[in-house]
Homo-oligomer: A and B are copies of this chain.
Amino acid sequence: MPETQIRFGILGCANIARKVSRAMLLSPNTTISAIGSRSLEKAIAFASENHFPESAKVYGSYDAVLDDLDVDAVYVPLPTSLHVRWAVLAAEKKKHVLLEKPVALNVGELDTILAACESSGVQFMDATMWMHHPRTVKMKEVLSDEQRFGQLKSVHSTYSFLGDEDFLKNDIRVNPNLDSLGALGDSGWYCIRAILWANNYELPNTVTAFHDPGYNESGVILSCGASLNWKTNGKVATFYCSFLSNLCMDITVLGTKGNFRVHDFIIPFSEQVGSFYAVDNSKWIELALGCAPEPSEFKIATDLPQEALMVQEFGRLVAGVRSGEVKPENKWSIVSRKTQLIIDAVVASIKNGFVPIKVIY
């Protein structure tokens, strides 16, 4: 018997939804059942341009998608300020929720969303694509290897890209009414997730924002950073996120015995293969005239792009819940909530004069 495909409904015609629509069609266990936009015309055009199946329904509202019995799960790429409303409504309609990042404006909103999902017994996942690349699994293997990596000591993560004039004027990510977290919510989300991922999701004790973030005229953050501290083992992490610098998507992780670097962790330069660079047990050569070994490149191929692997994993979890055999996997709620907690701590540190903010789950 062929596996039943999970049928997605999509709320809105955001640009990112084009990429995720393609992923839903690439993933063998998912399909697209409906899309809704406030503009029916836009929804029709979007469905056509993105090769939706003929069976897909096109609506002039988000509500219609939530009311469609042929929709198992919704993908929510709406502006962050609308997440709590539509994710909660979706959960109440028993739709599983794949939610774009940043998942909420603050952890209070996220808790409302998570409570609705739990109450309805639906699966929640945030749309952090790089988590699902096989390279990420391989890097975690390196991190976990006592001989090649040892104990984790520090992480530095950067995500910057240069927003052009139109982006910096009109994009929802710089609009205080739509995505008031700005670069912190958009770019910083990935950096913070990378730091938590490297730390096996152990929360830091404190988060301290760097002085003098960049802001636009509306007070939305365009660039910022912070340091994170763990009392155990003297671990430290730092990140920097920005809409004002040329593209950089780095994680550098240092352990006692080894380290690794990745330069395109969020979106690999190539869809087919992702690289990272690792080295361990480095030594100075005689007279410290050089050092060896040099870092080695590891190339990890993937049949499906990372966003299709994300959709596939979400579909797998949803299928399990629908079968009645398992409960929703709560891993994704927990890592979303921890990521959001750090974002909230950075905001609080900035608002309170760059003081350290204690992080409590």
Interface residues of A (CB under 8 A from B): 16, 18-19, 22, 150, 153-154, 156, 158, 160-162, 206, 208, 210-214, 223, 225, 227, 229, 231, 234, 236, 238, 240, 242, 244-248, 250, 252, 254-259, 261, 263-264, 267-271, 277, 279-284, 287-292, 294-295, 305, 354, 356
Instruction: Report whether B242 and A154 are in contact in the complex, using a CB–CB cutoff of 8 Å.
Output: yes
- The contact of A291 among B22, B227, B231, B247, by CB within 8 Å, is B247
Q: How far is the CA of A292 from the CA of B103 in the complex (A)?
A: 28
Q: How far is the CB of A359 from chain B (nearest CB, A)?
A: 13
Instruction: Report whether B246 and A150 are in contact in the complex, using a CB–CB cutoff of 8 Å.
Output: yes
- The answer to whether residues A256 and B245 also contact, given A211-B227, A229-B211, A229-B212 and a CB cut-off of 8 A, is yes
| Residues of chain B contacted by A153 (CB below 8 angstroms) | 160, 223, 242, 244-245
| Residues of chain B contacted by A223 (CB below 8 angstroms) | 153-154, 234, 236
A-B contact pairs, 14 of them (CB 8 A): A19-B288, A153-B160, A154-B245, A162-B257, A208-B210, A212-B231, A245-B256, A246-B254, A246-B255, A246-B281, A248-B252, A250-B252, A267-B288, A270-B290
Q: How far is the CB of A182 from chain B (nearest CB, A)?
A: 13
- The answer to whether residues A245 and B236 also contact, given A267-B284, A289-B19, A356-B354 and a CB cut-off of 8 A, is no
Instruction: Report whether A158 and B290 are in contact in the complex, using a CB–CB cutoff of 8 Å.
Output: no
Besides A153-B160, A154-B240, A238-B240, 9 new A-B residue pairs in contact (Cβ under 8 A), listed by A number: A153-B223, A160-B254, A162-B257, A210-B227, A211-B229, A223-B234, A227-B227, A269-B290, A271-B290
Q: How far is the CA of A254 from the CA of B305 in the complex (A)?
A: 28
| Residues of chain B contacted by A250 (CB below 8 angstroms) | 252, 261
Instruction: Report whether B246 and A279 are in contact in the complex, using a CB–CB cutoff of 8 Å.
Output: yes
Q: How far is the CA of A235 from the CA of B283 in the complex (A)?
A: 34
- The answer to whether residues A246 and B259 also contact, given A236-B240, A271-B289, A291-B267 and a CB cut-off of 8 A, is yes
Q: How far is the CB of A209 from chain B (nearest CB, A)?
A: 9
Q: How far is the CA of A294 from the CA of B248 in the complex (A)?
A: 11
| Residues of chain B contacted by A248 (CB below 8 angstroms) | 252, 254, 259
Instruction: Report whether A287 and B245 are in contact in the complex, using a CB–CB cutoff of 8 Å.
Output: no
Minimal Cβ-Cβ distance residue in B for A16: B288
Instruction: Report whether B238 and A244 are in contact in the complex, using a CB–CB cutoff of 8 Å.
Output: no
Instruction: Report whether A255 and B245 are in contact in the complex, using a CB–CB cutoff of 8 Å.
Output: yes
